[in-house]
Amino acid sequence: MNPAQTTREEIPPQAVIIQMAFGYVLSQALSVAARLRVADILADGAKTADEIASDAGAHGPSVFRMMRALAKAGIFVRDEGGRWSNTVLSEYLRSDHPDSMRGMVHMICDREHWIPQGDLEHSVRTGECGFQHTFGKPIFDYFGEHPEAAAIFDEAMTSLSTTVGKAVAEAYDFSGAATVADVGGGHGILLSSVLKANPEANGILFDQPHVVAGASVPKREGVAERTRIVEGDFFTEVPVEADVYLMKHIIHDWNDEESVSILSNVAASAKPGSKVLLVESIVEDEDVPSLSGIMDLNMLAMTSGRERTAGEYADLLQRSGWEFRRVIPTHSPMQIVEAVRR
């Protein structure tokens, strides 16, 4: 065996801890590679670091160091001629991949995430939202005033929700639903996935005016004719009547009082018997490996919200006019919490 190679079991605990502690360097390198569109640059075949740098407008020797670090993490691979290629992982950083994660990987280390996460100690010590502490206002107010940051965020949501959207459309039986509304639906990728899988259904996309203004996804996915766009503020009202209300990654952005207010506004427009589906990363009651703990810390740094257990979602729904029914797993890191309008 090559002495430079060790198996996971042979790595001493102190090395594991250091590797974990340096995880933020890997995050940033991945994010820079996504921003420089390295996976797109390699789409047609292997290139040297200088060729990548020339296409990306970057510094060759530093691109080499970034590629080498990412190759050690299994993201890219180098051939004997010193040229880099995509791997099964970096294929998902290509912007033309149908399940591209490029937008999400870009956003995770953008300035708006990086600074509040870098000040996580403040949030842990005080319980205060790091984003509010850093930027002086809640994240969605900030995005309303910063179109460039908002565009990165909206692309990230589309990127993450592409895979999750397909998984939700597959996991849930929408066959009885004539109208499906997506509340806080961003640019409409989840709704489009559901409408594509259910050709008889019509959709309503509800979000803030500056967000729905950029909602080009239903057209791209061929469901624009079945999609009505409604703009508004879900703290004021959700003037939308539907058989099923989708809410993906909405309630986790808000504290309990805010969540009850949103869910009550949806309930106010819903007929008895209509359903709400909260698509979230549910926190397991046991400390098993999952993304939910990391997502929860992200919520602590970025919002007034939190990730919740199924019991905590059931409680919020109960307080807002909904009857909790069940949790449905999907082929993604997210689950569906189903409730019925009382």
Ligand X SMILES: C[S@@+](CC[C@H](N)C(=O)[O-])C[C@H]1O[C@@H](n2cnc3c(N)ncnc32)[C@H](O)[C@@H]1O
Catalytic residue positions, numbered = 252
What is the nearest approach in angstroms of ligand X to the Cβ of residue 34?
18
Residue from 113, 249, 306, 341 that binds ligand X (CB under 6 A)?
A: 249
Scored b (16 or more CB within 10 A) or e, 250-268 reads: bbbbbebebbbebbebbbe
Angle of helix 13-21 relative to helix 23-35, nearest 10 degrees, comes to 40
Whichever of 52 and 190 has its CB closer to ligand X, that residue is 190
The gap between the terminal CA atoms of the chain, to the nearest Å, is 65
The stretch near ligand X (CB under 6 A) out of 23-31, 67-75, 87-95, 248-256 is 248-256
Whichever of 53 and 104 has its CB closer to ligand X, that residue is 104
The stretch near ligand X (CB under 6 A) out of 4-12, 168-176, 245-253, 328-336 is 245-253
Q: What are phi and psi of 230, to 5 degrees?
A: -125, 125
Specify whether the backbone of 292 is left (phi greater than 0), alpha (psi in -120 to 50) or beta. Answer: alpha
Q: Tell me the two tokens of residue 312.
A: 């905590």
Asked if 235 interacts with ligand X (CB under 6 A), we say yes
Asked if 112 interacts with ligand X (CB under 6 A), we say no
Which residue has the closest beta carbon to ligand X?
184
What is the nearest approach in angstroms of ligand X to the Cβ of residue 3?
47
Window 162-201: residues binding ligand X (CB under 6 A): 184-186, 190
The stretch near ligand X (CB under 6 A) out of 36-44, 207-215, 280-288, 289-297 is 207-215
What is the nearest approach in angstroms of ligand X to the Cβ of residue 214?
10
Judge whether 26 and 71 are in contact, CB under 8 Å.
Answer: no
Asked if 207 interacts with ligand X (CB under 6 A), we say yes
Asked if 250 interacts with ligand X (CB under 6 A), we say yes
Judge whether 296 and 302 are in contact, CB under 8 Å.
Answer: no
The stretch near ligand X (CB under 6 A) out of 18-26, 30-38, 227-235, 266-274 is 227-235
Please work out, in degrees rounded to the nearest 5, the angle formed at the alpha carbon of residue 243 by the alpha carbons of 238 and 248.
60
Window 82-101: residues binding ligand X (CB under 6 A): none
Beta carbons within 10 angstroms of residue 32's beta carbon:
19
Residue from 47, 226, 248, 341 that binds ligand X (CB under 6 A)?
A: 248
Q: What are phi and psi of 277, to 5 degrees?
A: -120, 110
Residue from 90, 100, 134, 161 that binds ligand X (CB under 6 A)?
A: 161
Integer Cα distance of 217 and 72 in angstroms: 36
Integer Cα distance of 255 and 205 in angstroms: 23
Three-class SS state of 89? coil
Whichever of 157 and 180 has its CB closer to ligand X, that residue is 157
The residues that touch ligand X, with contacts defined as CB under 6 A, are 140, 157, 161, 184-186, 190, 207-208, 211, 233-235, 248-250, 253
